[in-house]
Structures are given as structure tokens and as C-alpha cells.
């Protein structure tokens, strides 16, 4: 049986190496002729935290081009922008009416903000909008609108899929069995170290840009913090963030050789040069395609229009079934 795999793409900020290794690369590896792959840009989700319209537009462009440059093939998959499928939002309201408030109270993102407010002695609901609170329902609509059978999620995102299953199950029980209950494809949690040793994150200002120039890439790698061991002194590769980054891009033989070099006391400057070499080798064709697409301003708009044209008929058909099921239909 063919799997229908749906991947939501966050459209906030500019992608970095951690996003490439932890999200883009694994998702594209799942796509193939044996599966039906759906990729969508979750631009409405970005409104929960981002209020700058220019940044919203810029992020959608950068993120879309990053995925396309990395190998996402819109001819072999369904690639669309969430905001181009308005049926998602009609479905969101229908699902809101099946979603228990108690279920949404348990959402990790919502609970984290409440907990932070309590620690600061603030009101429970400070800085919490309805977008954040009902975020799991919109995510459920994203998944259910095309009756995805499988959704790739990290261990910390599994709750969202369980909520989607709960909401879909409640609707199926109350009305009719319209929704497929999606299964999780649990992805390994790839922890990519940033320049300061913590997990790479824009919020830590420790990220290595993904689609930057060679010069910027080299400077970013040069900033990675190391210990004070001198050249000639043996080093432990197993606990080294430089080595961990290197292993994401290097071949098996290169990794084995680098392990020996650590034991023999390779200098940190030499390790960083080798790291730049393997990263740049993999990123170079992606960067070149990205720069080429950046010079084609109508490319994305045409692609989004085509993506919507491909997926909206199915979304409309599902919404018509839902309307009929809940009683919003022609009076007889």
C-alpha cells in the first residue's frame, strides 16, 4: 500500500545547517516514487509569533528556495503554500468544534508559555494568543485535509500527531468516518551543535548559515569554540563538536582518517579547514541552484499557483463531504 506522507515546513527565519541536517535532508530522503509526498509551507503558522509582514514574506521565499535547491522536486511531489488552500481554514473551524479544550490545555507549546509566566509571577495568559492555544487544531487540519497516512515527526512533536488523531477520531465517531487516522514516522532527533556547543538554534545566535557565501561559511566555522589543546596533543574526537559536525558531511573513510588525526594531535585550525571543505562540497551545488532561483522572481509565484491547482480539487471534495456530514448542505 502506498503511503501518503505529509511534511509541514516551518517558514520562520533563514534556514541554517541544523535545519538542513535535521529537517530538509531526512524529509527528502523519505520522498520517492513508492510514496505520495506532500510538502507544504506553513505560512499561517508563522503569524503566531511573527508580526512583521516583510519578514513573513522574506522567510517564505528563503525557506521555499532552500528546500527546492536541496532537491525537492515539485513534479514528483505535491508542493504548496498553506495560504493557497483556504479549505484548510474551513476544516480548522469544523475541527475546532470537535476539539476538547482540555486536550488543547495539554499542548506542550501552550504549557511552556504558561509555565514561564508562572515562574515570572505574571498572569497565566500573558502573551498567549488564540493562535498559540489553538495551534494543534490548525496542524490537525493541515494533516487531515489530504488524509495523510503518515507524518514525519521528531520525538518532541509526536504529541501534535496524537492530537490530530484524537480530534479526527472524535469527528469520525460523532458524524461519519471521513478521516484517515495518520501514523507517525518518528525521526531520529539529530542534535546539530552550534558554534558555542549548544544545539544549533537561531534563538541562541550560534547557527552556521546554510545558503551563504563560501567566505561567510568559512568565518562561521572558524568561530566554533574548542578547548585549549595545542597541535601535537592527542584529542578526544568522541566529545568534540567539530568532529560531530564533520561526521554529518564526511565519508566513512574520511571519518576514520579524522579519528586517527585526532589521536595524533591534529590542530584545531586544520580540523576547521577540513570541516569547511566537506561542508562546502555538499552545499556548493545547493547554493548555486539557490542563487540561480533567486534571480527568477516569478518562479515561486508560478510554482505556488501550480501547487494550489494540483491539490485544491481534493481539498474541496473533502470539505464538501464534511459539510454534508455535519448538515451544512442544500435544504430539501
Residue 112 has a pLDDT of 93
Say how far apart CA 137 and CA 139 lie, in whole Å. 5
Q: Where are the beta strands (DSSP E) in 179-307?
A: 183-186
Asked if 124 and 118 touch (Cβ cutoff 8 Å), the reply is yes
- Is the pLDDT reported for residue 208 higher than 70? yes
- Please identify, in words, the CATH class of the domain defined by 3-99+134-192+297-326: alpha beta
Do the Cβ atoms of 175 and 124 come closer than 8 Å? no
Condensed to tens digits (0 to 9), the pLDDT of residues 303-329 reads 999 999 999 999 999 999 999 999 999
Query: For 32-67, what is each residue's pLDDT tens digit?
Result: 768 899 999 999 999 998 999 999 999 999 999 999
Pick the CATH number of 212-291 from 3.40.190.10, 3.40.50.300, 1.10.240.10, 3.30.470.20: 1.10.240.10
pLDDT at 34: 80
The per-residue pLDDT for 102 is 96
Straight-line distance from the first to the last Cα atom of the chain, in angstroms, rounded to the nearest whole number: 40
Q: Where are the domains of the chain?
A: 3-99+134-192+297-326, 212-291
Closest CA to 235 of 270, 260, 198, 272: 260
Rounded Cα distance between 223 and 125, Å, is: 39
Average pLDDT over residues 185-201: 90
pTM of the model: 0.92
Amino acid at each position: 500500500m502506498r503511503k501518503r506522507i505529509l511534511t509541514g515546513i516551518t517558514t520562520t527565519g533563514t534556514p541554517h545547517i541544523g535545519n538542513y541536517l535535521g529537517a530538509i535532508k531526512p524529509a527528502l530522503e523519505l520522498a520517492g516514487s513508492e510514496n505520495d509526498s506532500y510538502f507544504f509551507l506553513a505560512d499561517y503558522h508563522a503569524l503566531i509569533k511573527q508580526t512583521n509582514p516583510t519578514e513573513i514574506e522574506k522567510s517564505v521565499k528563503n525557506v521555499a528556495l532552500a528546500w527546492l535547491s536541496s532537491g525537492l522536486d515539485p513534479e514528483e511531489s505535491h508542493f504548496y503554500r498553506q495560504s493557497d488552500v483556504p479549505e484548510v481554514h474551513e476544516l480548522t473551524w469544523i475541527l475546532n468544534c470537535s476539539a476538547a479544550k482540555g486536550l488543547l490545555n495539554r499542548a506542550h507549546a501552550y504549557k511552556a508559555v504558561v509555565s514561564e509566566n508562572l515562574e515570572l509571577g505574571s498572569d497565566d495568559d500573558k502573551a498567549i494568543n488564540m493562535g498559540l492555544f489553538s495551534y494543534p487544531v490548525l496542524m490537525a487540519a493541515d494533516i487531515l485535509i489530504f488524509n495523510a497516512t503518515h507524518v514525519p515527526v521528531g520525538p518532541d512533536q509526536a504529541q501534535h500527531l496524537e492530537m490530530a488523531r484524537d480530534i479526527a477520531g472524535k469527528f469520525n465517531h460523532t458524524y461519519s468516518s471521513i478521516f484517515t487516522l495518520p501514523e507517525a514516522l518518528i525521526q531520529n532527533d539529530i542534535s546539530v551543535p552550534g558554534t558555542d556547543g549548544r544545539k544549533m538554534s537561531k534563538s541562541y545566535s550560534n547557527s552556521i548559515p546554510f545558503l551563504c557565501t563560501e567566505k561567510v561559511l568559512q568565518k562561521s566555522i572558524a568561530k566554533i569554540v574548542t578547548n585549549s589543546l595545542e597541535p601535537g596533543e592527542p584529542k578526544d574526537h568522541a566529545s568534540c563538536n567539530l568532529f560531530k559536525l564533520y561526521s554529518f558531511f564526511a565519508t566513512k573513510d574520511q571519518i576514520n582518517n579524522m579519528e586517527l588525526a585526532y589521536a595524533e594531535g591534529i590542530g584545531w585550525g586544520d580540523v576547521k579547514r577540513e570541516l569547511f571543505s566537506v561542508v562546502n562540497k555538499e552545499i556548493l551545488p545547493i547554493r548555486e541552484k539557490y542563487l540561480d532561483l533567486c534571480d527568477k522572481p516569478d518562479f515561486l509565484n508560478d510554482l505556488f499557483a501550480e501547487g494550489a491547482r494540483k491539490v485544491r480539487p481534493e481539498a474541496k471534495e473533502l470539505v464538501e463531504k464534511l459539510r454534508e456530514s455535519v448538515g451544512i448542505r442544500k435544504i430539501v
